[in-house]
Structure 1
Amino acid sequence: MDRNRIMTRVSELPLYWRTLRHLKMIQVADRIRRRLFPARPDLSPAPPLRPGRKKPYHGCRSRAEVSGNRFTFLHCSAEVCRPGDWNRKDCSKLWLYNLHYFDFLRNEDVDGAHWIDRWIRENPPGSGNGWEPYPLSLRIVNWIKYHRSGHSLSPKALNSLAVQLRFLAASLEYHLLANHLLANAKALIFGGSFFDGEEGAKWLRKGWEMYREQLPEQILADGGHFERSLMYHSILLEDLLDVHQETGGEFLRTHLLKMLGFLRSFTGPDGRIALFNDAAFNVAPGPEELLEYAGRLGLRPEGPEGGGWFADSGYLRLERGDWTLFADAAPVGPDYQPGHAHADTLGFELFFKTRRIAVDSGVSGYQTPRRNPERGTGAHNTLRLDGRDSSEVWAAHRVGRRARITETRELPDGFTAEHDGYRPVMHRRSWRWLEDGSGLRIEDELKGTGSHTAELFWHFHPDCPVELREPGRAVVAEDFLLTYPADRLTAGVADDFWSPEFGLVLPNRTLILRYQGTLPLQLSVIISEKK
């Protein structure tokens, strides 16, 4: 290794320390264990099946598209014609995960027995993407659902299912924790309720043990999931509904009612989720589908409809007249697992009636060149100082320095919050409705000293073009007027992108307001109906 590379590595040590110091000991120990003692496939015959139902399984639709050997996930299509295609080099890791999930078994026109048999023949035990714990967990559940719904798994498939369960039980994702560990637990519960005997009982016991340990931490008192992503919240909500249908139990019901209420509150007037952090449409079932599924199981959301301040999650929903605001005054996520966090502190999304006006930039993928920019502060409707991200996002799922919320307060006409992501400078933001209900005022305050550059980002929906008409005034979608102090801010409009779904990148426009000067600083920007 040459001297320059050594110096680069040394210079990166503080970044690694800021990232790794938050890990739990169990995460560190499990990474060491996985290196020294990797799981080995146990090819013993499958245990007997528990006497169980065979009837249509109430659940959500698949979002996979299958035509012959061609699969479409995440707006990307590829064929699976040869054994090596299960681990194609020209497809992203996330696409391959989706292939191995086997969600497509829910599609009525798919020959499930054919694809199960092919998977068994072409994916040797313990080898390839399909044997990693997360896709393994989802596939186990989908194969069992397939059998429960009136199809029959062959003896060969039942033996493979048992091998997969044993392999999963030996490779539970304690190095990651969070939503991955809950997916592992769900698979063990399904496996234990499907297979009888000592092995089945052991899987069932372990799965419930993990649920009882993890759910009280991961599902917050206000019903939000602690990774602060409405997409993962929805994925886990579907998982808990599935387990509730499979096993019942008051323990799950309590969490489900809270989660349903939270989802309802952070569903926009357009019927879709808020896009804070790693969130995209059409990965998890949509809110309407999840609420309908819950209703079929006799579950209804807790609490009144509407919004307010969800203090445990750190998310805000405010409404006034035709306007709806979602705002993020939350931690980046659990300190030991912020892998789905963005540097979006004090960001927001804004609706007028059912129209999304100001949008979060979304997520186009986890293994794309856009990954870091999409996680950065400049991709969100918030303030960036001196070109720095409010939290130090890096690699695909890493965070070093983290912004902390230091103060929150409800106001008669809105809400205010402060964070220390630019310490020693503090950033305070207030969202305040105009007195006549015609719009929203956003006030930003930077408390500090010295000369700095501040940028305010307004990302607009593709259907909302923005045009600078004169200093201090911008017209949005011909229906709204955005005003700002032209004596303090310079304005520019940039071509940008909105990624509301994985694999989907749509052109949009972003208004950037810049300040160059000394601190302290107070700014006010208003968006209102054009009169």
Structure 2
Amino acid sequence: MRRIFRGIAAAVGSPYHRREVGNYVRYVVRRGVLAGAAWQAIRGGVIPGGVAEPPGFPALSSLERAGACGVIDSSDRFHALGFLPIGNGGEDAQELPLIGKPPWEGWFDDPEDRLLAHRFGWVLPFLAAGASPGTVGRLLDLAGRWIEAFPSGDGAEGWDSYSVAERTVHWIFLLSAARVRGIDRASTLAAMVEESLRAHPGFLLHHLELRGASTNNHLINDARALYLAGLYLGEGRFGDVGREILRYGAREMFAPSGFLREGSTHYHVLLCRSFLEVLWAARASGDHELFEGLRGRVEGMTRCTGFLWAGVDLPLIGDVSPDFPPAFHAGVPALGAELLGLESIEGPASPGWHSLFPEGRARERMADEEDCPSPKAGPIQAFSDAGYYRLAWKKWRLFLYANPLGLVPPWSHGHADLLGFLLYWEGTPLLVDPGRATYIDGPIGRYGRSARAHNGLMVDGLEPSVVHAHNGYTPTLLPGYYDHPASVLPEEKEDGVRVVVRCPGFGRLAPGLSVTRVLGLSGAGLRVEDEITGSGCHLVERFFHFHPAVEVSRDGGGVLRCAVPGGGAFRLREEEADSGAVDTRKEGSFSLHRGEAGHSPMGWFSPRYGELQSSWTVAWRGRLSLPDRRRFVLEKIG
């Protein structure tokens, strides 16, 4: 019963839910769906059958035996080959930014911040920057203090499965760094941390994050921790279970092209990182079977990561993980290319995750010494199986994500971003995805997932698709309500490129209501044309979210001037659409918003989890009689 009430509370807890619930009731009545069928959908979604394993999950019971890994004697090789120090900075060259108390003490406004302290990912930037032996010793001391403060146990603080998996991997990095800096494995602190580490994979093995059809990337991180711990500790049973889950995750959680299916570019980068760590360790330890077995799929993941990071900062689509700022993993595509023997990709010159590996440090030196040419890309790059597209024309770049499912499912980190896009000029971001600053269920957290926070549109307050736990609880809904995938067609023309997105998801609002959006790039700039079919009068809202560095002001006559640092300027305006059967005389208007809080926030940008910057949002609103066609132009001035 508790699950039922929790589901009902979620269904009415926010304006996005309330509008969707009301529309769903009208849909059920309009379609003449029997009450019994609707109740069965609710009952089946709120009261699941109890099977925790997702479809196709391998049987693991036969693998949970000691000595099965075949590489259990590789612990010393793993230590010797991995995580060598960078440079030879003097004692305490990298000072810890800690005064008085460790990271897990104090007051945390966001629960994710406290969880981060337990996961020890905060040690990696120090190791990547070449932490001195003294600093590594202090990091070990903090790990020892954590061990004393947080004993293991079901439900104990710091012992949720995800934190255990992350801490396992990060302690292996820390212990490896200590070893190559001359801190003996048998020293008091190192021995204390390693003894606690030995309890981690056993705990994790019995607390795998299996959530039925909602199982997501957390399971892959569990597997990464089990595999690396099996190598480090010489415990074959952990390595074997990790191997099988990694194979399953690479096969089931990624599209054939290599993109993570969860609708988040940052989570894709992090999961690509996880598989690269596994492959690096497999190669170093002589586990050629796993290396070759995963190689093809990880090559796809790496190419997808390079696609995202080519010539621009990472386009932040979907959730941004609290675990690390995106820039820390900017070297993932370059290290992946080096490890897998792919065409070289330019990497960052500054330290980051890649600096933990000899290959990554070599790429840093190359970036310092000479330019590494980026692979040439055509005007259209498409990963249609995963919904990612990039259009390029002269100095313009446009990224588009259209979830192939037509909804955001329970296992996703996606947003209500269907019909949205990101736009760059000479690598400078102009129109952005504002991001989700927090997972807390409040106005700002809900705003970050909503269509209001993306460069798309809404009709009568409803979003283009159902987003699980945002505007609906998908397991309780009839599939006919939400199962409406969009179609995407990119095209190259003589004078530019364009992509046509047909979104039938608004059909759940009224029969025949759909939106076709055409995004076109030419030398002059961006053209956005929306055709909305249907009948009756409806409120239509469109949103244009500018990067915080862009200043927006009114320029008279319904025209907006957009200025970027360095003197560049652009103009956003509505343009009269082609005449014909569609009436173009209906009115709407622009409004400007920046840093607005309260129950309906707007005008915010989140470059990383937990950080909010005020930025300009341009909203266009009009009550229109359908059908309707509108065209908007963003063009360079001068």
* TM range, smaller chain: 0.7 to 0.9
3-state secondary structure, aligned to 1:417: strand
Per the TM alignment, residue 120 of structure 1 is displaced from its structure 2 partner at its CA by: 1.3
| Equivalence map 1:97-116=2 (5 Å) | 97-106=115-124, 107=126, 108=131, 109-110=135-136, 111-116=138-143
Partner of 1:163: 199
- 1:213-224 map, 5 Å: 213-224=248-259
What's the offset of the Cα at 1:292? 3.5
Work out which of the residue numbers 514, 522, 531 in structure 2 matches 1:426: 514
Q: Does 1:321 align with 2:348?
A: no
1:174 aligns with 2:210: yes
Q: Which residue in 2 is equivalent to 1:480?
A: 570
CA distance in 2 between counterparts of 1:7 and 1:193 reads: 42
**Residue of structure 1 in register with 2:145 after alignment:** 118
Partner of 1:35: none
Q: Give the aligned partner of residue 374 of structure 1.
A: 448
Distance 2:113 2:407 in 1: 26
Residue deviations 1:6-28 (CA, integer Å, cap 9, x gap): 997698597899899679978x4
Question: Cα RMSD over matched residues?
Answer: 3.5
What SS class does the counterpart of residue 484 from structure 1 fall into? strand
Q: How far apart are the structure 1 equivalents of 2:42 and 2:310?
A: 33
Q: Distance in 2 between matches of 1:327 and 1:186?
A: 30
Shift of 1:273: 1.0
Q: Answer with 498-507 or 96-105: which moved more.
A: 96-105
The change in CA–CA distance for 1:6 and 1:405 in structure 2 (over 3 A counts) is closer
Q: Judging changes above 3 Å, is the alpha-carbon distance between structure 1 residues 203 and 383 closer, same or farther for their aligned structure 2 residues?
A: same
The counterpart of 1:57, out of the listed 82, 107, 115, is 82
Give the one of 129, 133, 141 matched to 2:161: 133
Q: Secondary structure of 1:261's match?
A: helix
Instruction: Select which of 276, 279, 291 maps to 2:317.
Output: 276
Q: Structure 2: how far apart are the matches of 1:21 and 1:446?
A: 35
Q: Which residue of 1 aligns with 2:221?
A: 183
Residues 267-310 of structure 1 deviation map (CA, whole Å, 9 limit, x = unaligned): 2633x211111137953455642133335535436995435221
Mapped contact 1:138–1:187 kept (Cα < 8 A): yes
Name 1:416's counterpart in structure 2. 500
Q: In the alignment, which residue of structure 2 is the partner of 1:207?
A: 242
Q: Pick from 239, 250, 274 the counterpart of residue 239 of structure 1.
A: 274
Larger Rg: 1 or 2? 2
Partners of 1:235 and 1:285 within 8 A in 2? no
TM-aligned CA deviation for residue 67 of structure 1: 2.1
Q: What is the one-letter code of the residue matched to 1:383?
A: L
Q: Which amino acid aligns with 2:82?
A: Y
Report the AA paired with residue 518 of structure 1: S
Residue 166 and residue 91 in structure 1: after superposition, are their counterparts in 2 closer, same or farther (change >3 A)? farther
1:148 to partner: Cα distance: 2.6
- Residues matched between the structures, number: 491
Structure 2: 5+ residue runs without aligned partners?
25-38, 54-71, 87-93, 284-290, 346-374, 475-480, 577-584, 595-602
473-482 vs 150-159, greater mean Cα deviation: 150-159
> TM-score, normalization: structure 1?
0.83
Give CA-to-partner distance per residue, 1:79-125, whole Å, 9 cap, x none.
438xxx55x66342211221112123332234122122111111011
Which structure has more helix as a fraction of its residues?
Answer: 2
Q: Deviations over 1:405-445 (max 9, x none)?
A: 332222233111112332232111111123xx111111111
Q: Which residue of 2 aligns with 1:361?
A: 434
Is contact 2:406–2:485 with CA below 8 Å preserved after alignment? no
Distance 1:224 1:237 in 2: 9
What is the distance in 2 between the residues matched to 1:6 and 1:286?
37
1:509 to 589, 592, 616: 616
Task: Give the partner amino acid of 1:67.
Answer: P
How far apart, CA to CA, are the structure 2 residues paired with 1:316 and 1:20? 38
What is the CA distance between 1:206 and its match in structure 2? 0.7
Matched letter for residue 444 of structure 1: D
Which of 500, 514, 519 does residue 607 from structure 2 map onto?
A: 500
2: CA distance between counterparts of 1:406 and 1:68? 49
CA 17–215 in structure 1, closer or farther in 2 if over 3 Å, else same? farther
Superposed CA offset, 1:207-247 (max 9, x none) = 11111112112221222111121101111111111111111
CA deviations over 1:163-212 (Å, ceiling 9, x no partner): 2211110000001522100000001101111223xxx2211111111111
1:312-461 superposed matches below 5 A: 312-331=385-404, 336-367=409-440, 369=442, 370-393=444-467, 400=474, 402=482, 404-412=484-492, 413-423=497-507, 424=510, 425-434=513-522, 437-461=523-547
Residues 435-469 of structure 1, C-alpha deviations (whole Å, 9 max, x = no match): xx111111111111111011110011112122222
Provide the secondary structure at the position in 2 that maps to 1:313: coil
Check if 1:94 corresponds to 2:112: yes
> Which residue, out of 516, 519, 522, partners 2:626?
519
